Amino acid sequence: MKLTSKDFGAMKMPAIALAIAVAASFAMVAFTSNQRTQSEKQYRDQLTALQDAQNRFQRSGDERQTVMHYIKAYQELEKIGFVGAEQRLNWVESLRVANAQAGLFGVDYQMTAQAPFPFVAKDNPVSGRVKHSQMKLSFGVLHEADLMRLFNALHAQQPGLFALTGCSLDRAGRQGLPLPRQANLTAQCDLSWVTIDPGKSPQ
């Protein structure tokens, strides 16, 4: 069978239509593939965002549980003056009350400016926030047991957190037997009043 020019002329339009259909099919396939790739990327991005949100929610729940677990202890530390600014007036008033409760003869004191507390490790994340003020005490006592009577009474006042760093006793030239109701010894003691700056207040 021979094809004539007339036959080729008749096939021209169907061939063009076929070419257009094939080109359109390739374009549709390429468009669909691109759309699928974008959809898969969007799905992965949304899945990642969902997982991040779930992780943040989980962390917030864990943080809330941690806060609720320690909040009472934190509030107690605030109450006694360890957390927050110095409360020097409370310290001095508590010292006066403790002296009266211990039945001593008065306490003289000197206090230094606040400075970094030296007994916190440098790599501790709160080391820069822990401060102390040193207080030097001088007072008379009947005997050695009056020392702990004073500091136990001071502790009972809960005026803050303090550390007794040293004490010395001096008979100060007194001779003979101890006298009743008189200061037979002079005590010199050093205290460190310790506070911590909480930074941002917990919510």
149-164: per-residue pLDDT in tens? Answer: 999 999 998 888 999 9
DSSP letters, the chain, are: -PPPHHHHHHHHHHHHHHHHHHHHHHHHHHHHHHHHHHHHHHHHHHHHHHHHHHHHHHHHHHHHHHHHHHHHHHHHHHHTTSBSS--HHHHHHHHHHHHHHHT-S-EEEEEPPPEE-TTS-TTSTTGGGEEEEEEEEEEEESSTHHHHHHHHHHHHT--SEEEEEEEEEE-TT--SSPPTTS--EEEEEEEEEEEE---SPP-
Q: Do residues 99 and 172 both lie within one domain?
A: yes
Tokens 């008065």 found at: 106
What does pLDDT average to over the chain? 80
Amino acid at 138: S
State the CATH number of the domain containing residue 169. Answer: 3.30.70.60
pTM for the model = 0.59
- Does 29 map to a domain? yes
Of 2-11, 23-32, 59-68, the poorest mean pLDDT is in 2-11
Q: If you average pLDDT over residues 179-186, what whole number do you get?
A: 75
Q: Do residues 113 and 50 both lie within one domain?
A: no
- Does 201 map to a domain? no
Domain closes at, from 17, 48, 79 = 79
Domains: count for the chain: 2
pLDDT tens track for 53-105: 777 767 766 677 776 777 887 788 888 888 888 899 999 999 999 999 999 98
Q: How confident is the model at residue 6 (pLDDT cuts 50, 70, 90)?
A: low
Amino acid at 155: H
Q: Do residues 186 and 103 both lie within one domain?
A: yes
pLDDT given at position 202: 44
Q: Do residues 110 and 164 both lie within one domain?
A: yes
Q: Do residues 22 and 58 both lie within one domain?
A: yes
Containing structural domain, residue 23: 1-79
Between 58 and 194, whose confidence is greater?
A: 194
Q: Do residues 71 and 93 both lie within one domain?
A: no
Domain closes at, from 59, 79, 99 = 79
Amino acid at 136: K
pLDDT given at position 203: 43
Domain closes at, from 79, 110, 132 = 79
- Does 203 map to a domain? no
Q: Do residues 46 and 98 both lie within one domain?
A: no
pLDDT given at position 14: 66
pLDDT tens track for 124-155: 777 788 899 999 999 999 888 899 999 999 99
- Does 15 map to a domain? yes
